[in-house]
């Protein structure tokens, strides 16, 4: 594709961002649909977030994805925020409509679609969610919408876990408890264990948010991290024959909903999956 004065610019705002596969997904999708668009990454320090958002407007960037640690804090800098994103308290997609920045959250649908793809039954199950940030909130909302029986939110800051727990209970009328992340090892069994923290993400690939003894109690392990493809947490699951999934399918699905917000249509998921998996195999 030839980059010219008509090329539309999109990107990712986060810190860190060098691990992201989003440029591969969106640039391949743009190319496959012959769209004159380019997607890049912007490593934005927390104290520079407001400047970055103003830059999106000033430079005419057509849209951005938002990742940790900015999903919650970016809300106050946007002009319009969807009801769903406000309910979750986090934005992962911004659309620039002629200088009006509109925030959305596509993580909920991305997570739901990813569970459907792996054929995981959620109804009536009990889940433990590690982390209490924006990604955790989206996951808890998705689980509640899919008919989960109960959720335990575990976090380093117990106060944050408590706040999220109370919110989920109030909004969805389901059992939702909380504990410190160290107390997870005291739970007798876990139907679904979901990691929404950044622990284990590249470059700190030897770290795990829960040790092997915790994983042994789980029937299914889901790690939202996709780089590395197999985190230390998932290696524990693999070693013990426990079903697991990484965050690649959620990444692709939430990206597809972002793509539709920006362009008006979806990309071909199967093409993108094949492209990514071939790239990961060759150490992209």
Q: Is the peptide bond before 218 cis (omega within 30 degrees of 0)?
A: no
Task: Assess contact for 33 and 267: CB atoms under 8 A.
Answer: yes
Distances (CA, A) of 223 to 38, 109, 186, 226, 228: 29, 16, 20, 8, 11
Residue 73 bears catalytic tag: no
Query: Is the alpha carbon torsion for 161, 221, 259, 84 positive or negative?
Result: negative
- Is the pLDDT score of 98 beyond 90? yes
Selection from 101, 135, 12, 110 nearest residue 64 by Cα: 12
Question: What per-residue confidence (pLDDT) applies to 222?
Answer: 97
Each residue of 213-230: pLDDT tens digit? 999 999 999 999 988 889
Question: What per-residue confidence (pLDDT) applies to 226?
Answer: 87
Q: How confident is the model at residue 277 (pLDDT cuts 50, 70, 90)?
A: confident
- Is the pLDDT score of 202 beyond 90? no
Each residue of 261-270: pLDDT tens digit? 999 999 999 9
Cβ-proximal residues to 4 (8 Å cutoff; 6+ apart), any chain: 36
With b meaning 16 or more CB within 10 Å and e meaning fewer, what string describes 85-101? beebbbbbbbbbeeeeb
Two domains, one topology: 8-105+249-281 and 108-246: yes
21 assigned to a ligand binding site: yes
67 assigned to a ligand binding site: yes
Alpha helices in 205-247 (DSSP H): 212-215, 232-239
124 assigned to a ligand binding site: no
Specify the CATH architecture of the domain 8-105+249-281: 3-Layer(aba) Sandwich (3.40)
Tell the residue number behind the tokens 């890049």, with chain if given.
40
Selection from 70, 50, 56, 53 nearest residue 10 by Cα: 56
Each residue of 135-171: pLDDT tens digit? 899 999 999 989 999 999 999 999 999 999 999 999 9
Q: What residue segments make up the domains of the chain, in order of their start? A: 8-105+249-281, 108-246
Task: Assess contact for 210 and 131: CB atoms under 8 A.
Answer: no
Distance from first CA to last CA of the chain, Å, rounded?
A: 21
- Is the pLDDT score of 247 beyond 60? yes
Task: Assess contact for 258 and 30: CB atoms under 8 A.
Answer: no
- When the pLDDT of each residue in the chain is averaged and rounded to a whole number, the result is 94
Task: Assess contact for 132 and 159: CB atoms under 8 A.
Answer: no
Question: What per-residue confidence (pLDDT) applies to 224?
Answer: 95
Question: What per-residue confidence (pLDDT) applies to 280?
Answer: 61
Among the options 62, 71, 102, 137, which is catalytic?
A: 71
Share of the chain above pLDDT 70, in %: 98
254 vs 111: CA distance, rounded Å: 7
Question: What per-residue confidence (pLDDT) applies to 134?
Answer: 83
| pTM (two decimals) | 0.88
Range in 108-112, 156-160, 274-278 the model is least confident about? 274-278
Question: What per-residue confidence (pLDDT) applies to 68?
Answer: 86
Each residue of 11-54: pLDDT tens digit? 999 999 988 899 999 999 999 999 999 999 999 999 999 999 99
131 assigned to a ligand binding site: yes
In CATH, what class is 108-246? alpha beta
- Is the pLDDT score of 282 beyond 60? no
């Amino acid at each position: 594709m030839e980059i010219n004065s008509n090329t539309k610019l999109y990107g990712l705002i986060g810190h860190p961002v060098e691990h992201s596969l989003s440029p591969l997904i969106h640039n391949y999708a743009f190319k496959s649909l012959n769209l004159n668009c380019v997607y890049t990454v912007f490593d934005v320090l927390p104290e520079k977030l407001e400047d970055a958002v103003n830059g999106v407007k000033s430079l005419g960037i057509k849209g951005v994805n938002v990742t940790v640690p900015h999903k919650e804090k970016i809300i106050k800098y946007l002009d319009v925020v969807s009801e769903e994103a406000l309910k979750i308290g986090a934005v992962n997609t911004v659309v620039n409509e002629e200088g009006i920045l509109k925030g959305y959250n596509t993580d909920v649908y991305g997570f739901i679609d990813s569970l459907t793809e792996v054929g995981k039954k959620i109804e009536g199950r009990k889940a433990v969610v590690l982390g209490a940030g924006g990604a955790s909130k989206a996951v808890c909302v998705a689980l509640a919408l899919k008919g989960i029986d109960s959720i335990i939110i575990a976090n380093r800051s117990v106060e944050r876990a408590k706040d999220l727990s109370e919110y989920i209970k109030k909004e969805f009328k389901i059992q939702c408890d909380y504990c410190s992340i160290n107390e997870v090892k005291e739970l007798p069994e876990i139907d679904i264990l979901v990691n929404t923290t950044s622990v284990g993400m590249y470059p700190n690939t030897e770290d795990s948010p829960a040790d092997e003894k915790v994983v042994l109690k789980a029937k299914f392990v889901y790690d939202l991290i996709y780089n590395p493809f197999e985190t230390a947490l998932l290696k524990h699951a693999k070693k013990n024959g426990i079903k697991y999934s990484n965050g690649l399918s959620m990444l692709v699905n939430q990206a597809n909903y972002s793509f539709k917000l920006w362009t008006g249509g979806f990309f071909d998921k199967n093409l993108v999956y094949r492209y990514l998996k071939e790239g990961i195999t060759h150490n992209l």
